[in-house]
Amino acid sequence: MFTISNVNSVGMTGFSSEGLQEFILQQKINDVTIMLYVDELFEKITSKILESGAGWGFSWKGDEMTLYKRERSRYFYVDINYNNLRIRRTTKCEDKRSAEMVKLCLTLKMMNVLPVSNQNLVYPMEPQEKPKPFFQEVSQQYLEEKASTLKSHKREVLCHTNVVKYFGKMRIDKIEPQDIHAFIQKERKRKVRGGKTISATSINYNRGYLHRLFEFAVNVLGLVDVNPVKKISPLPQDNMRDRVLLLEEERKLLPCIEKEWLKDIVKFTILTGLRISEVAGLRKSNFFVDEKIPYFKLKREKANISTEFPIVFLELEGIINKYLYATKGDIFFCDESGKQINSDKIYNHYKKAVKKAGLQDLNFHDLRRTFFSRIRLGGCNPTVAEYLMGHKQKELVARYLSYDLRSIAVELKKIEGMEDIYVTHTSHFDKNRG
């Protein structure tokens, strides 16, 4: 396919000026043709290495690639060994000299050496820019270096799995806003368990992951200049869920909970409004029960603020005393064997209890909403309620409003024992109040 002549081997004698120009022109054409195919071959080999999981670190040695010719083929082949992975590809060259040139250029390219010139070439090669990494590589690096420090790391891993299926083999610098848009539209049609269409919330989680990943690629790695996700807006989603646990439902649910630790966690959540991950992450060192006003203090998951929660409910005090001295170590909530209980374990056992109780559409997060509704309907100050929920206050409120345990305890005392208020959600309460 390729034919390359070497001027030095032929010599300069015997050429007319026109013949010499024609010879040099043919050399240039051959060199360009070879380099185009080397680029194509390089892409195929790197893709194969990434697919196999052998890694890619540009630690290449020349003796890892050899040439050979098959008996019934007119072409020469390259035989590559890389981290115990063997790859064989045709050079599309019928003569050995051209095949050697392909091998040389490919070796230099895989060694991350840009061949500016070569003694066997009449025409010097132009420097070539190192190709940007594949999306899959950048996403993995983001997970290891950035996302591993986030509390939502488990969700980031799930998003990584979803987006890599679509963008994995694309170069990071080749992804445009239209590619992000196409991905979102494809996700909107995807079916999940039970034949349901994937929710807008889940799609927005994936979009958010892409946004954070490209910010990392722009600001930390310098692989791209612009974040393509910025031009694609999140999908509209319905965040107006108002499901709460009614008092009669609570009486049905608790007897259906088989695990004693889960029953205590459900009661604890209804009385404090903590998120499931905040409950699972509680430590004994968060509790200060010997103070004049006993309380626990923790850093909230989303707002990155600390909340001091006074322990005024007798039922809450009983649960806390039970687990503070149940086991050694700093773990607070633990199972029958004394092991720490994670969010997944809480959620799975909770869903079984809800199903057994015959309750419909009741998530664990609804217990948090139940707490907020109950304290608001009981007359708790709105700003104190927001503080206890761990919501970030508006800047003006945060600057001038200070909290103390005594005033918060007074607000919580208003609702203790007032069972008749546990009837509805605060959205209805606010409507009625105007």
Q: What is the pLDDT, as a whole number, of residue 396?
A: 44
Q: What is the pLDDT, as a whole number, of residue 434?
A: 35
- Tell me if 117 is assigned to some domain: no
- Tell me if 255 is assigned to some domain: yes
Do 227 and 251 belong together in one domain?
Answer: no
Q: What CATH number does residue 207 fall under?
A: 1.10.150
Do 275 and 388 belong together in one domain?
Answer: yes
Q: What is the pLDDT, as a whole number, of residue 39?
A: 82
Do 366 and 401 belong together in one domain?
Answer: yes
Do 102 and 217 belong together in one domain?
Answer: no
Q: For every one of its 434 residues, what pLDDT tens digit does the chain have, with 9 covering 90 and above? A: 443 334 333 444 444 556 555 655 555 666 677 777 788 888 888 777 777 766 555 455 555 788 888 888 888 888 888 777 888 888 888 888 888 888 888 887 777 644 433 433 333 445 557 889 999 999 999 999 987 777 678 889 999 999 999 999 999 999 999 999 999 999 999 888 778 888 898 999 999 999 999 999 999 999 999 999 999 999 987 767 788 999 999 999 999 999 999 999 999 999 999 999 999 999 999 999 999 999 999 988 877 788 999 999 999 999 999 999 888 899 999 998 889 999 999 999 999 999 999 999 899 999 999 999 999 888 888 888 888 998 876 654 545 455 678 888 888 887 765 554 444 444 444 443 33
Do 396 and 255 belong together in one domain?
Answer: yes
Amino acid (one-letter) located at 272:
T
Query: Helix count (H) and strand count (E) of the chain?
Result: 17, 6
Query: Structural domain of residue 190, as residue ranges?
Result: 135-231
Do 87 and 205 belong together in one domain?
Answer: no
Do 317 and 422 belong together in one domain?
Answer: yes
Do 425 and 279 belong together in one domain?
Answer: yes
Do 302 and 226 belong together in one domain?
Answer: no
Q: What CATH number does residue 325 fall under?
A: 1.10.443.10
Count of C-beta atoms within a 10 Å radius of residue 315: 13
What's the structural domain count of the chain? 3
Q: What is the pLDDT, as a whole number, of residue 13?
A: 46
Do 279 and 323 belong together in one domain?
Answer: yes
The 8-class DSSP code of residue 325 comes to T
Helix (H) or strand (E) holding 82: strand 76-82
Q: What is the pLDDT, as a whole number, of residue 58?
A: 46
Q: What is the pLDDT, as a whole number, of residue 54?
A: 61
- Tell me if 238 is assigned to some domain: no
Do 294 and 359 belong together in one domain?
Answer: yes
Angle at 363 between CA 359 and CA 369, to 5 degrees: 110
- Tell me if 151 is assigned to some domain: yes
Residue with tokens 């969700």: 155
Instruction: Give residues with Cβ within 8 angstroms of 347, minimum separation 6.
Output: 276, 364
Do 206 and 252 belong together in one domain?
Answer: no
Provide the pairing of β-strand 85-90 with 76-82: antiparallel
- Tell me if 106 is assigned to some domain: yes
Amino acid (one-letter) located at 57:
G
Domain termination residue (choose one: 71, 94, 110): 110
